[in-house]
Structure 1
């Protein structure tokens, strides 16, 4: 058997070991198998990384203004819900969440960091960074929680303490 032929079976074994981690979640973090509790990189056990998995599990939940889950969310309701599920308290709005996180430069962002969109001094949207320039978020009325490419470089990143 060639090394190339062994790759699918190795991936299959790792996915089975990961249990409930979906292929979509694996893809969201850059195609690597890093699940909470699995051996891997140091950030695998961080609250942000665990919250990322919680948000990914809500894929398809409808957007509803002011909703904080568990069946529907607005943007900050999704981030608040995901971090609460892993034992971290976040305030309710995107702007309040921005004020409670530690700033992280784009070059140092990690899966699980919050992605903030704003204009002037106001923050109007938040998502959870998933790696490879993508984030999980609940974007707007008529949409659902989804993984999406970050469409601008005019964002700021924050790490939940």
Structure 2
């Protein structure tokens, strides 16, 4: 066989071998990169391991905390409901007192058609469900003291001088920076709405804090 022919056959065989190797390599399945997917498995394993390694005391504390949350919400809701009920009763007492406008003043009287200042408060608030002392001084001690700026309709006003509290009224609203109130003024007068004649008074309330 001529030398040229043998050389040509050798080259052809070499090229055929290279083509076979290339097709074989392309047919091989792709190999995942080292560590791929391991992170997810590691995270899941770590989470499970953390849960399993948590002490019984920790698990118990977690369970108790989960149970306390609904109870806390229930208590908060109950407190808000109770405050709303008291607010409603305070306004009811104010409305009862407003219906006494025009009734005569009488020292020591607490209704139903004659009142002194503290008697009007006792009459109205007791009918709204409050236990209220009889005298203005006792009422001032009984009520929760509040700032004038926090006064709401139905709260109480206590006037004082050198001898202590001497008059009580029911707060209605602020008008031009002055307090409007309902009270039984004094001898010869009738229950009426008036403006506070002096700044020497402090506020009290039967509402809940």
Q: Same fold (TM over 0.5)?
A: yes
User: Using the alignment, how far apart are the partners of 2:144 and 2:111 within structure 1?
Assistant: 25
Q: State the match for 2:62 in structure 1.
A: none
User: Using the alignment, how far apart are the partners of 2:94 and 2:85 within structure 1?
Assistant: 11
Q: Give CA-to-partner distance per residue, 1:37-84, whole Å, 9 cap, x none.
A: xxxxx6994322211111110000000000000010000000000101
Q: Give CA-to-partner distance per residue, 1:63-107, whole Å, 9 cap, x none.
A: 000000001000000000010110001100000000000001000
Q: Looking at both structures, which has the greater relative contact order when contacts are Cα pairs under 8 Å and sequence separation is at least 6?
A: 1
C-alpha displacement of 1:153: 1.6
**Higher helix proportion, which one?**
2
C-alpha displacement of 1:122: 1.1
Q: State the match for 2:157 in structure 1.
A: 115
Match of 2:180 among 112, 128, 134: 134
Q: State the match for 2:120 in structure 1.
A: 78
Give the secondary-structure state (helix, strand or coil) at the position aligned to 2:115: coil
Match of 1:60 among 90, 99, 102: 102
Which residues in structure 2 correspond to 1:91-110 (within 5 Å)?
91-110=133-152
Match of 2:195 among 143, 149, 152: 149
Give the ranges of 4+ consecutive aligned residues of structure 1 lying more than 3 Å apart after TM superposition: 42-45
Structure number with bigger Rg: 2
Match of 1:50 among 79, 87, 92: 92
Aligned partners of 1:47 and 1:112 also within 8 Å: no
Instruction: Compute the TM-score of the two structures, normalised by the length of structure 1.
Output: 0.70
User: Using the alignment, how far apart are the partners of 2:203 and 2:188 within structure 1?
Assistant: 26
CA RMSD between the two structures: 1.7
Q: What are the ranges of 5 or more consecutive residues in structure 1 without an aligned counterpart?
A: 1-41
Q: What are the ranges of 5 or more consecutive residues in structure 2 without an aligned counterpart?
A: 1-83
1:44–1:147 distance in 2 versus 1, CA, 3 Å: farther
